[in-house]
Structure 1
């Protein structure tokens, strides 16, 4: 595997951090997830559930082992120090200031392992006037301007139907860690890197911010439309909806005869994309009038034949059963010792001669506490004492399942 031999200590929780470390695990890194003995990762308790496990947790925690440790205890802190000594990467997503109180901040861990790569994930960044604010995906969609761009024209701001800020922050963290590992291989030096939900949100604004600087016009919500291309949005068909993407004038000249709009192809109002953008509403109305006359499937066949980019508006059940998605092996299948056969969404990068697979199921809380403690030198007697004192949690159920 790509990252075989790399050891990652995962102190993160919820989604951005766990998704980052899951992807590192997918790439072959050995990931140890540290959880609180009483409750574990918050998402374990988020419905809906498969058995007793929250589906959000299951979606972001494969290819890891779990150790349950009380980080507020001195013995727990010593366990972390021993794990840091043998790790290449630490990922954390505590609220600003908590790592210092727990003694797991970068400066402290750097003293233990000078070559450590330390990735800090936060809501608004670790410095600045908002650094102490809690970070949640929907809050950053609002604060970062994403909601102002999302929704129907003239309608209220809308939250995206998934968690793009959290998930992309996790991907950015993977990118940063891989760059830091390359730097480490070249120089032997560790690294401190930060990723925040805010910077991810602002990063999404790219061309929209550039448009604003160029025109001094604040971008508005346009539904599924796109302010610089037209027609380039979802249209209502006779039985549903279809996305049509006329991305340039060459496509426009194929699109018009395909749908029976030959008379509009060279019309001065619509001949070029700038013309169509200037006459945006009129263009959309003309196209909509013809598209609603036939079914989605009929239009898909017509437009594909004419080489006009188009797509059905699929629902989740349709996506996970789609032949192309299956062919690209984006749906993972694996067996969980307690929950049975499960599925998951794969890391969306494929490598030649590297199989996408789940080598470790999403762990039960504390499933690997005992074996990890033994690996770093603790005796059975010491482990029993710490268990009795509530410093660590051993999942007895995992022993029955193994």
Structure 2
């Protein structure tokens, strides 16, 4: 079983790619009988019966929180992780440790935090140096690029089209 599973408070991703990891997963979720069940005993049988097996797993995963399952499955050697909403992602300890989320400088004293570059190079570190445009900030330039004249843009603004 590999995929997304509902927990009591969210979702996790579990990746049991191989017989030994599958055995550890079955033990960790409290369902050792699934490991030896004929429908799930081999990789081909697990693949063939994937929907039923995933349903069996989800019967168990909905009983505990995401945090509890991630800890228990990782402790058992089963690769898994939480599936976050954006605000949760920025609060993750690993995201903070790696500096993935970066504050973007701006002239308006607004706090803007975005996802930075996914790769960090020791000799050429990257950091966010510009912010995305404000809503509508570049409307005039974009419309001019499409051939609109200044007076046409003014008419669109007065009519609250843009």
TM-score computed with the length of structure 2 as normaliser: 0.71
Q: CA 1:233/1:361 → structure 2, altered by over 3 Å: closer, same or farther?
A: closer
1:332 to 79, 82, 102: 102
User: Would you say 1:278 and 2:51 are equivalent positions?
Assistant: no
1:219-256 alpha-carbon deviations (Å, 9 max, x no partner)? xxxxxxxxxxxx11222223332222212222101111
User: Would you say 1:287 and 2:57 are equivalent positions?
Assistant: yes
User: Would you say 1:269 and 2:32 are equivalent positions?
Assistant: no
Give yes or no for contact 1:329–1:356 (8 Å, CA) kept in 2: no
User: Would you say 1:313 and 2:92 are equivalent positions?
Assistant: no
Q: Which residue of 2 aligns with 1:356?
A: 126
Instruction: Supply the distance in 2 between the matched residues of 1:253 and 1:340 (Cα, whole angstroms).
Output: 50
1:60-100 alpha-carbon deviations (Å, 9 max, x no partner)? xxxxxxxxxxxxxxxxxxxxxxxxxxxxxxxxxxxxxxxxx
User: Would you say 1:248 and 2:9 are equivalent positions?
Assistant: no
| Structure 2 counterparts to residues 184-195 of structure 1, below 5 A | none
Q: Which residue of 2 aligns with 1:79?
A: none
| Structure 2 counterparts to residues 149-168 of structure 1, below 5 A | none
- SS of 1:336's equivalent in the other structure is coil
Q: CA 1:352/1:278 → structure 2, altered by over 3 Å: closer, same or farther?
A: same
- SS of 1:235's equivalent in the other structure is strand
Q: Aligned residues, how many?
A: 136
- Cα distance, 1:320 vs. partner? 1.4
- SS of 1:264's equivalent in the other structure is helix
- Cα distance, 1:308 vs. partner? 0.6
1:255-301 alpha-carbon deviations (Å, 9 max, x no partner)? 11112221221222111221111112221222122222223222222
Give yes or no for contact 2:25–2:73 (8 Å, CA) kept in 1: yes
User: Would you say 1:259 and 2:14 are equivalent positions?
Assistant: no
Q: CA 1:273/1:342 → structure 2, altered by over 3 Å: closer, same or farther?
A: same
Q: Which residue of 1 aligns with 2:145?
A: none
1:303 to 53, 73, 80: 73
- Stretches of structure 2 lacking an aligned partner (at least 5 in a row): 139-149, 151-162
| Structure 2 counterparts to residues 51-90 of structure 1, below 5 A | none
| Structure 2 counterparts to residues 101-112 of structure 1, below 5 A | none
Q: Which residue of 2 aligns with 1:225?
A: none
